[in-house]
Amino acid sequence: MQELITTHGLNFEAGPYPSFFEGEHWNSYRVGTVKGLWNSDEKDYLILSFINDKPGNGHLDDVLQWFEMSAKRDGRNLRILSLNNRRFYRHLIAKRGFKQIKGNVNDLIKRFN
């Protein structure tokens, strides 16, 4: 498979994230100035957080390109969990193709499988 070249040519860096709760497992990621937590299950890639140290530089585009490419490649969906930033929530629906998960108003999904 050809390596993904994102809009800004940024690499996806990931590593384990220490959890304080037994049985809970998350990974950290960093793409340019954006970092956060993610995980996966048999059907979905799950993003728990986005933290952008320099908003407006376009690095969020690269984050979503990496996750979407991985979801397509692996036949999974992309879910964003516990999203409380209403402006970002509306942006993801209007401009990025995400849909609200029925019965869970704070989670969004983009289906690839």
Give residue 84's domain range: 13-110
Q: Can you give the pLDDT at residue 3?
A: 75
Q: Does the residue 66 lie in any domain?
A: yes
Residue carrying structure tokens 């969004």 = 108
Q: What is the dihedral of CA 64, 26, 88, 32, to 10 degrees?
A: -50
Q: Is there a domain that residue 95 lies in?
A: yes
Q: Residue 35: inside a domain, yes or no?
A: yes
Identify whether 64 is part of a domain. yes
Residue 8 CB contacts under 8 Å (≥ 6 apart), including other chains? 32, 57, 58, 59, 61, 62
pLDDT in tens, 83-111: 999 999 999 999 999 999 988 889 999 99
Q: Considering its fold, how many domains does the chain have in total?
A: 1
Give the CATH number of the domain where residue 58 resides.
3.40.630.30
93 assigned to some structural domain? yes
Q: What's the pLDDT at 24?
A: 78
User: Over 70: is that where the pLDDT of 2 sits?
Assistant: no
Q: What is the chain's mean pLDDT, rounded?
A: 93
Q: Is residue 58 part of a domain?
A: yes
1 inside domain? no
Q: Which residues contact 80 (CB under 8 A, 6 or more apart)?
A: 47, 92, 98, 107, 108, 109
Q: What percent of the chain has pLDDT over 70?
A: 98
Where helices occur in 36-107 by DSSP H, the ranges are 59-74, 86-96
Predicted local distance difference test score (pLDDT) of residue 21? 75
Residue 31 domain-assigned?
yes
Per residue in 19-58, pLDDT (tens digit) is 777 777 899 999 999 999 999 999 999 999 999 999 999 9
